[in-house]
Structure 1
Amino acid sequence: MKNNKPKYKKIIDAAVEVIAENGYHSSQVSKIAKRAGVADGTIYLYFKNKEDILVSVFQEKMGQFIERIENVIMENDSADEKLYALIKMHFRQLSEDPHLAIVTQLELRQSKKQLRMEINEVLKRYLAVVDQILKDGMEDGTFHSHLNVKLVRQVIFGTLDEIVTNWVMKEQRYDLVDQAKEVHFVISNGLKKHQT
């Protein structure tokens, strides 16, 4: 499989850096090749074009991102702990890779519709994790039983996404992970059944 090859990984990593630094539209394939230390033609052994590189970056990096989130969530018992773990891990992973944060929060938004559709496909696995946390919490009585899972998932993802975008726009001047506790507090208290 192509994504097991070292050159593929080098190109993906180089693409993240080049796109973050120059913007997607100004990131020529030749710049990505130079950063990866490969010939321009080598890129086309792995990718059809620059758009394919961007989609592959998202598939590869988001795949790893989701896998880590799934693993962290499995270490927690209650739905509320899982929700906190998801929020914290979402922030931690993007704060640890600022170039990737710029690409996911800014550059992917400017892409063509077809590209966004492919990206949405990758996101489905992440959103399924959020759905499962909500369903678990509804079933065990932690969260309200009448929640509209699809709507609440949009609220959660939209909130996390906006907070990361704001952090990127503010040039990452503060600790993103420090925000996890308060974000969890606000979301969690909106979902919880309050004991009388």
Structure 2
Amino acid sequence: MNSKKERLIKAGMFYFSINGIAATRVEDITKKAGVAKGTFYTYFSSKEDLLEDIMVQKMEKYVGLFNDLRTSGLDFEGKVKMYLRERFNRFVEDPKLFYMILSLRRTGEIMLLKFLREKLGRRGDKLIKEFFNENIEEIKEEYRGELDIILPSIMAALFSYQDIMAERVRIEVKDEEDYERISKILKRVDIEKYIDQFYNLNIKAMVKED
């Protein structure tokens, strides 16, 4: 990736994570990235275009994760917990992305962005639905016809768990060093406890017993 573009992406993630989109100025991003304002428009047509670039990169990582699930050799419970583990761990490893998404959800801006709903949202929903359909024999029959209703509820619950993790950090982000502190705190969180809780509360009842 071009170094200037990479710096713009990192700076954009920082300001989106603390201010949201509307309150972030292109000048803020370019100043932090150490480039001229005009350079921003060499790579992006708008702040929303920058955000789309960030989210597309994030989505590509999840495509890879679902491919890994398919070849993991794990049983259904193991695959679900592998997905949850990777999802939580990626937020621990990249708290800036974690807080960016959390900030956009809190401001409501994430729901107003058409590309997130229509392009990335549908793609993410499709990946989840494909995974459950590929493992449909593991699901109790009474739940199989209700996946269109159940799966969005499961994802909403997962976002709530991520919010809880963020609340427990209790650090107001003001500079880059704050993210290092957040990462250290998140690494001390008992991820496996949250994974087991989430699975037992939101998915276990759907799964056929051996």
Work out whether the TM-score is over 0.5: yes
| One-letter amino acid of the counterpart of residue 133, structure 1 | F
Equivalent residue, structure 1, for 2:29: 32
CA distance in 1 between counterparts of 2:17 and 2:155 reads 22
Q: 1:182 to 1:114 in 2, by over 3 A?
A: closer
- 1:132 pairs with 2:130: yes
8 Å CA contact retained: 1:131, 1:153? yes
The one-character-per-residue Cα deviations of 1:146-177 (angstroms, maximum 9, x if unpaired) are 32121221122111111112222333655263
Q: Note the 1:46-195 alignment, pairs <5 A.
A: 46-64=43-61, 66-77=62-73, 78-108=75-105, 109-111=107-109, 115=113, 117-120=114-117, 121-139=119-137, 142-147=138-143, 148-171=146-169, 175=189, 177-178=191-192, 179-195=194-210
SS of the equivalent of 2:141 reads coil
Superposition misfits of 4+ residues, deviation over 4 angstroms: none
Q: 2:126 is aligned with what amino acid?
A: A
Q: Is contact 2:66-2:127 (8 Å) kept? A: yes
Q: Secondary structure at the match of 2:139?
A: coil
2:2 to 5, 13, 18: 5
Query: CA distance change for structure 1 residues 68 and 112 in 2, over 3 Å: closer, same or farther?
Result: closer
Distance in 1 between residues matched to 2:20 and 2:130, nearest whole Å: 35
Structure 1: gaps (5+ residues): none
What do residues 109-131 of structure 1 show as CA deviations (whole Å, max 9, x unaligned)?
A: 5327651x211221323222221
Alpha-carbon separation, structure 1, partners of 2:199 and 2:68: 16
- Of 185-194 and 151-160, deviating more is 185-194
Specify the code of the residue in structure 1 equivalent to 2:156: G
Per the alignment, in what secondary structure is the counterpart of residue 170 of structure 1?
Answer: helix
Maintained 8 Å contact 2:110/2:116: no
Identify the range of structure 1 (74-83 vs 12-21) with the bigger mean alpha-carbon deviation: 74-83
TM-score w.r.t. length of structure 1: 0.82
CA shift digits 1:43-70 (9 cap, x unpaired): 0111112222223222223333x13422
TM-score (norm 2): 0.77
Q: How far apart, in 2, do the equivalents of 1:93 and 1:81 lie?
A: 18
State the distance in 1 between where 2:134 and 2:57 align: 28
Q: Deviations 1:67-109 (Å, cap 9, x if unpaired)? A: 3422431342333222111111111111211111111122255
Change in CA separation of 1:21 and 1:133 when aligned onto 2, cut-off 3 Å: same
